[in-house]
Chains A and B, each alone.
Chain A
Amino acid sequence: MLDGAVRIRLTALTASFRAPSFVAYQLSLAVPPLATIFGLLSAARGHWVMPHEVPWLAYRLTYAARAMDLEAIYSVERKDAADTPRFKERNIVQREFLVSPELDLFLPAEWRDPFLRPRYQLVLGRSQDLATVSSIGPASLEPVSTGPVTGVLLPAEVVARNGVTAVLQNLPVAFTPDPERAPVRVTMFGLIDGKRSTRGLQFVTIEDGAGWLVRDRESGVVVPLYRQEWILDGR
């Protein structure tokens, strides 16, 4: 049981989490990867946050709809990490985004203050996807073996155990700071879509959580909890 945790709700008009598989034509993932969450933590705290600074975290993201944008882009490239980036060409690409995203973040209590007064602007994706902290409240997470989930990333083995509908993606858990920005670890997740329908949230029932699921007693929300050791080493 994790008492004294916080639940931070971020809302925005739009969000976009580029599927790393598709570089030029952007599909948005339904759920942000862990690396994006570390980006958010970094923005809130004002310095690059790495996994060894966060003992655990959990989250889910729901949204109202998917939509497609057309974007004129000015391509920039460089030969290697030491080279100066140069403008290359202008192009028009499709960019998928999520409408009215709501992110519920569960974190250790010390994250309350950084999200009360974030150092940098919080975004759910790119710079235009401005986000706001709409509430911060107490959370107490208890382990559960089964439960309904939506808008979460499940480790691939949990997806396989339960045979649920999911989109599999290899996703980075975190990145090292600039200029290298190398992935700390990349692992396969199943994305459980969190699109809100007119009938409300649609859940997938996980019968065998294999030790991954926690339930917030305050809100009833069930989410997978990622421990620091797992994020860093997959153990």
Chain B
Amino acid sequence: MSLHWTGQPFVDAGLAALLAASGASRLSDVTATHLDIAVRELERILLSDQALGIGLEKSFAKGTLSQVFPNSELVNPSNWSKGPEGVRAKYRTALKEDLARAKEALHAERGDRLCGICGELRPSAGFVMLRRDRFPLLSGAVNFYPGFLSGVALCGLCALALRFSVASLLRVGERGRLWFLHCPSDIVAARIAQEYGWGHFRRLIAANQPLDFYGDWRTSGNSGAILCLLCQLLRKFANQLRTIYQHGIPTVAYVFSNDNRGGYVEGIPVPTSILDFLQSLYLESVDAFDQFERELLRVDTGRDKREEAQRARFVATIADRIVRAEPIVGASLVEQRLLGGWIAHRTYLREVNGMNEAVLALLERTGIALAQHERGKKLIGRLERAPARDVRAVLLDLVREGVLSGRELAALLPPNEPTSAQIVRDVLLAVVYEYQRCNEVGESFPRLVGGWAIPEPDEVVRRLERIAADLIRTLPNRRQWIADLMTARKTAQIRATYLRALRSGAMSLVDFLFLVPLGDVTQAWVLRDYLLAFLFELGREAVPTDIELVEGEEGATDEVSVLAE
């Protein structure tokens, strides 16, 4: 019966490393001969002087490795009593037994006992009872072994695979934690083991340095290490990995420590949208990809301590947000600069945050218009300090000046999605800063190419457009009426202004009730702003240019609390 992924993270990590060392290209192709080859390599690496620490200051076997497999054959003092050769002999014997059981399981058609790990029926004679010295994270809680038994029973193949997991483990770089990517894909998982496990071990042995897990990420936090690994993989194996990144194989990073004094394990699922994003960015521009990694994920040493700690916190925060697929553009605005590059952020907004391409193009256009605006400095300053509700007011000003249409405003800030104000603000500032930077250094701003139609407006927006058109057509003394609506400070004043239109027959009762719904103050202010937008657009000659638009306090409360979440 052939080998396959099991869903048990440590066993799968072992299978990946076994596959990488065996020379087979797929797990299902692994034969007994492949098992022999892989076992020989495991033995060569783990019994090397550099692993056992012979003639070196540090022993991998007794140090870091014993954190994964406490008190294993390579640590047990009674094995060491006969010196390194005693340890080697002991390990070889144990490995030989495991190999024999694994081969038996591989050959057997169908056994009589179900392995709880791989789910296959295997010959019961080949099962072994593993405890913490052979199975990571079994320390400490004996009574969680199934049925009060003193260990977990595994089939010969799963037990052998666990031994190989060492070549899939990586170091986070902080607090001695280890991690690995659980990604049941023949290509990705085996590549990681090949490059960062076996390859890394072989390089250390060749340089006669003590073995250790690979952990040179130059980043901060668990998420930082995960993302840097994904970036490095794409760079090194772009062609082989392309299909995997495109198809989004379920990937979970398991971070753990097996310390006796305080074990720890955390599973961090990597959203498939993050893989899509990295892949798209890499394809669009390798330079943009490099810039993204350098400016948002890397922590360089050699700065002063305080600066380095600050940078580490920044990177850890951004990386955590990315791994949770949360927006990052706001957090990347530092001292009126956008870190990470606009191309990367634009790709992230599209692939991860699901932003429509047309809306992105519109935001680019609006941001550039802001940067070029004669009152740009004032408007940008307002945006920088803006609570969310002011974002709408700034954009409304742009509608008044003909930079944006009413429908475009509604596409950027849909009336029913108050939470979009924050991200729109962040994206506009990102474009502004990037545009300014490009101007300073004489680069051209990397605009989206192509024409996009903004999404069709919804019912509410279309209705507001129609009400505005009616008002423009039939309202007596439009200029004064619009000015009154712009300067209303209380909801009651808005209502009074609408009542005047109702009395003169320019507004119907149904529309009046729609615009100031009973008991919903916030909505009245939101709808007023979009109504104004269409009034500005449709009745441009009646729009007062010298009046400041007032945002009433009453309309603000709800929106701000939504954003504070």
Contacts and interface: CB of A to CB of B under 8 A. Distances in A.
Interface of A: 18-27, 73-81, 85, 88-89, 91, 93-94, 156, 159-160, 163-172, 179-183, 185-190, 193, 198
A167 B140 contact: no
Contacts of B472: none
B190 to A, nearest CB: 17
A183 B114 contact: yes
Contact of A24 (B137, B184, B249, B252): B137
A77 B145 contact: yes
Contacts, number: 136
Given A23-B137, A183-B114, A77 B149 contact: yes
A189 B119 CA distance: 12
Interface in B1-58: 5-10
Contact of B272 (A93, A163, A172): A163
Contact of B149 (A81, A91, A164, A170): A81
Interface in B140-157: 140-150, 152
A25 B272 contact: no
Contact of B152 (A23, A75, A94, A159): A23
A169 B9 CA distance: 8
B141 to A, nearest CB: 4
A167 B146 contact: no
Interface in B98-143: 114-119, 132, 135, 137-143
Given A76-B143, A79-B150, A168 B272 contact: no
A146 to B, nearest CB: 17
A18 B143 contact: no
B145 A26 contact: no
Given A24-B141, A156-B7, 19 more contacts: A22-B265, A24-B137, A24-B140, A27-B265, A27-B267, A89-B142, A160-B247, A163-B249, A165-B248, A165-B269, A165-B270, A168-B250, A168-B252, A170-B6, A171-B7, A186-B117, A186-B119, A187-B119, A190-B250
B540 to A, nearest CB: 38
Contacts of B452: none
A78 B148 contact: yes
Interface in B262-276: 263-267, 269-273
Contacts of A73: 141, 143
B331 to A, nearest CB: 19
A168 B269 CA distance: 10
Contacts of A187: 119
B269 A188 contact: no
Nearest to A187: B119
Contacts of A26: 144
Given A23-B137, A179-B147, A193-B269, A88 B142 contact: yes
B248 A164 contact: yes
Contacts of B141: 23-25, 73, 75, 91, 93
26 contacts: A19-B267, A23-B137, A23-B141, A23-B152, A24-B139, A24-B140, A25-B256, A74-B143, A77-B148, A79-B149, A89-B142, A93-B263, A165-B273, A166-B269, A167-B250, A167-B269, A170-B7, A170-B8, A171-B7, A179-B147, A186-B114, A186-B115, A186-B117, A187-B119, A188-B5, A188-B7
Given A169-B7, A182-B114, A193-B269, A93 B119 contact: no
A91 B116 CA distance: 26
Interface in B175-198: 182, 184
A85 B144 CA distance: 13
Contacts of B146: 181
B10 A21 contact: yes
B147 A81 contact: yes
B565 interface: yes
A166 B7 CA distance: 12
A19 B144 CA distance: 11
A165 B274 CA distance: 10
B308 to A, nearest CB: 30
Interface in B62-121: 114-119
B142 A25 contact: no
A176 to B, nearest CB: 10
Interface centre among B132, B135, B263 (most CB of A within 10 A): B263
Contacts of B7: 21, 156, 168-171, 188-189
Nearest to A89: B142
Contact of A85 (B148, B247, B252, B270): B148
B161 to A, nearest CB: 13
Contacts of B565: 198
A193 B325 CA distance: 14
Nearest to B151: A77
B551 to A, nearest CB: 25
A70 B147 CA distance: 22
Nearest to B247: A163
Given A91-B140, A167-B250, A20 B116 contact: yes
A94 B137 CA distance: 12
B423 to A, nearest CB: 14
Contacts of A76: 142-143, 148
A25 B10 CA distance: 14
A164 B272 contact: yes
Given A167-B269, A168-B252, A183 B143 contact: no
Nearest to B118: A170
B113 to A, nearest CB: 8
B149 A80 contact: yes
B119 A188 contact: yes
B344 to A, nearest CB: 21
Contacts of A89: 142
Contacts of B264: 25, 94
A18 B137 CA distance: 14
A188 B150 contact: no
Nearest to A84: B148
Given A164-B248, A167-B269, A21 B8 contact: yes
Interface string B227-249: 00000000000000000000111
